[in-house]
Structure 1
Amino acid sequence: MYFVTHLAVGALLGRWSRLPVPWVVAGTALPDVVDKPLAMLGVVDLYHTVGHTALLAPLAVVAALLSSAGRALAVGWASHLFLDAFHIVLNGRYGDALFLGWPVVVPPDPLALPPGAFFFYYLWSPSFFLECAFWTGLGVVLLRNARADRPSGETRD
């Protein structure tokens, strides 16, 4: 799933849940902000490792218990992991969802593509079309809201 989609989902999730939106968005960014640089620098071999492991769930629970910001961060992080696993399974790469158990388990044949190469791999996949539908729906909702917010006598220039 594209990074910007995670951020948009985080913003929507924050508004819907009434959690602090910036913290939910930060939580959705966290896995990629941690893992992508580590892989690009060669510290790890995969792009789903430290930040994407569900084994950090106990830390997320502790953060959630400490404050509303911690709760929002944990919700954003969990949504990122869920959406990545969902899109991997939707694209038929079931074994790659084992990234959730890293480092205890590692996908047997991970994709391991850098972000640029992943873009071209991802085009035309089932998840790509689901993301296109998400952005189209979001665009329609935003346009409708913008029109509804315009005073009735206001016209376009």
Structure 2
Amino acid sequence: MTATVVTLVLFPTHLVAAALVGRATTLSSRWLVVGAALPDLVDKPLGMVGVVELYHSIGHSAILLIVALPLARHSRVGAAAAVGWGSHLLLDALHVVVNGRPGDALFVGWPVVVPSDPLGIPPGSFVLHYLWTPSFFLEVGVWLVLGAVLLEDRIVGR
């Protein structure tokens, strides 16, 4: 249940961050967003039905670089999806490190390395825990950048 709340809080930020990367590069925003969505679309259902114990497992594993790098080298769509996926992993790892739990970032090594004691608190407690943390303010910053970009587009008429 905690993973559901975490997903609802952080998932949209992954999509926004990917779209902003698309604005700053020549990569397809659509495929960046698809790539950024994939880790949670794979792992959360697997965790909810009990296939894996952690909500950061298969889709959040850096071992998928074995698949992502060849796709990225041979197609612009593959490159955009791989960068979006990588941005999701980077933001999730940054989230736990900035909040003082660097050991939890070991999820990127799944299944070779597994965090010893991932944060496991009830959904309501998680929201209260997350508010006013350093990564909460980073997330607010991402949304402010999006707002500034949208405002600029409206003013410039894009």
With the length of structure 2 as denominator, give the TM-score of the two structures.
0.86
Q: Quick one: distance in 2 between partners of 1:116 and 1:72?
A: 35
Structure number with greater Rg is 1
Following TM superposition, the consecutive aligned residue runs of length 4 or more in structure 1 with deviations greater than 6 angstroms are 114-117
Q: Using the alignment, how far apart are the partners of 2:134 and 2:18 within structure 1?
A: 21
Partner of 1:28 in structure 2?
36
- 8 A contact 2:20–2:146 mirrored in 1: no
Distance 1:136 1:60 in 2: 30
1:130-152 C-alpha deviation (Å, 9 max, x unpaired): 111221232133223312329xx
- Of structures 1 and 2, the one with the larger relative CO (CA 8 A, separation 6+) is 2
Unaligned runs of 5+ in 2: 1-8
Deviation string, structure 1 residues 92-150 (Cα, Å, up to 9, x no partner): 00100000100001001112468776444322211011111221232133223312329
Matches within 5 A, 1:5-84: 5-84=13-92
Alignment match, 2:5: none
Pair 1:117–1:70, CA change in 2 (3 A): farther
Q: 1:54 to 1:39 in 2, by over 3 A?
A: same
RMSD, matched Cα:
2.0
Measure, in 1, the Cα distance between the counterparts of 2:122 and 2:91: 19
> Could you tell which deviates more after superposition, 106-115 or 12-21?
106-115
**Which residue pairs with 2:3 in the alignment?**
none
CA contact (8 A) 1:46 1:112 kept: no
Query: Is the 2:16–2:143 contact (alpha carbons within 8 Å) kept by the matching residues of 1?
Result: no
Sort the Cα spacing of 1:117 and 1:3 in 2 relative to 1 into closer, same or farther, 3 A. farther
How far off is 1:4 after superposition? 0.4
In the other structure, the counterpart of 1:154 is none
Shift of 1:15: 2.3
The alignment-based identity, stated in percent, is 58
1:91 to 90, 96, 99: 99
